[in-house]
């Protein structure tokens, strides 16, 4: 029996350190989230501003996120970002994502080399789903599984809603088949009535 393969799970990894980006990518692909029938695709960027660009959001902290940007379709299922980066920090990136009505439900994981409780609590209160201490280990990947499953369930629900909406739209735009059938039946009855009315006058009795 063939096993259905899920679409790839897309992770956006943000870190200004190249070795750390490569480590995260390797851990994500190595873990393969055993027991889940899909592959993991990782996109890496080296700054918060590039992450926002990839996600279709503004990279200026004082600029409100536009409604048009919120409508942009972004196929990212999870974001994992370093906390300490030049320019925009991971915390600033987290806030931008949670301000977006379209992106706020994407799970966000923060990483940091510093075990500072106040920093960890601030990120979690702002909406981060996990906080990993560097160096990130393979065992940390297991903590992502609940968030992945939640993201997948929501993705499936949205796909079903989209298909249902398309089906209802197609049905409402094609009412002609029933009307055509009704019209054909009505015409048939009319022809039959005319034939029955004419037939007695056209048949003459035979003389013996």
For residue range 101-130, what is the model confidence (pLDDT) as tens digits? 989 999 999 999 999 999 999 999 999 999
Mean pLDDT, to the nearest integer, of 194-204?
50
- The pLDDT-based confidence of 64 (bands split at 50, 70, 90) is very low
CA distance 114 to 134: 8
Task: Specify the pLDDT at position 68.
Answer: 42
Asked, for residue 194, whether it belongs to a domain, the answer is no
118, part of any domain: yes
Express each pLDDT in 144-168 by its tens digit.
888 877 776 766 666 677 677 777 7
Q: What pLDDT, on a 0 to 100 scale, did the predictor assign at position 189? A: 58
Residue 168 — φ and ψ, nearest 5°?
A: -65, -35
Instruction: Provide the token pair at 122.
Output: 């601030």
Which pLDDT value is given to residue 203? 46
Burial of 31 (0-12, 13-18, 19+ CB in 10 A): middle
Q: Is residue 44 part of a domain?
A: yes
E strand residue ranges, 75-143: 78-82, 108-112, 130-133
Domain that holds residue 17: 11-58+73-153
Contact (CB, 8 A) for 51 and 12: yes
Please report, for the domain that includes residue 84, its CATH number: 3.40.50.2300
Beta strand segments in 61-159, E: 78-82, 108-112, 130-133
Q: How confident is the model at residue 72 (pLDDT cuts 50, 70, 90)?
A: very low
Decide if 207 is inside a domain.
no
Q: Is residue 184 part of a domain?
A: no
User: Does residue 5 lie within any of the structural domains?
Assistant: no
The count of structural domains within the chain is: 1
Is there a domain that residue 135 lies in?
A: yes
Q: Is 87 domain-assigned? A: yes
Examine residue 135 and say whether the peptide bond preceding it is cis (omega within 30 degrees of 0): yes
């Amino acid at each position: 029996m063939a096993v259905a393969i899920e679409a790839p799970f897309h992770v956006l990894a943000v870190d200004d350190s190249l070795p750390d980006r490569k480590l995260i990518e390797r851990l994500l692909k190595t873990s393969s989230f055993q027991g889940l029938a899909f592959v993991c695709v990782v996109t890496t960027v080296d700054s918060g501003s590039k992450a926002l660009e990839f996600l279709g959001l503004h990279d200026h902290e004082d600029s409100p996120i536009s409604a048009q940007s919120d409508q942009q379709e972004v196929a990212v299922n999870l974001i994992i970002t370093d906390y300490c980066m030049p320019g925009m920090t991971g915390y600033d990136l987290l806030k931008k994502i949670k301000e977006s009505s379209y992106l706020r439900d994407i799970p966000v994981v923060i990483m940091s080399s510093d075990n500072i409780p106040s920093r960890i609590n601030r990120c979690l209160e702002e909406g981060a789903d996990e906080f990993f201490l560097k160096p990130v280990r393979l065992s940390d990947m297991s903590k992502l599984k609940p968030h992945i499953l939640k993201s997948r369930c929501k993705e499936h629900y949205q796909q079903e809603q989209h298909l249902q909406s398309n089906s209802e739209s197609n049905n409402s735009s094609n009412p002609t088949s029933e009307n055509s059938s009704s019209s054909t039946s009505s015409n048939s009855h009319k022809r039959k009535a005319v034939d029955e009315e004419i037939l007695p006058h056209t048949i003459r009795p035979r003389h013996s």
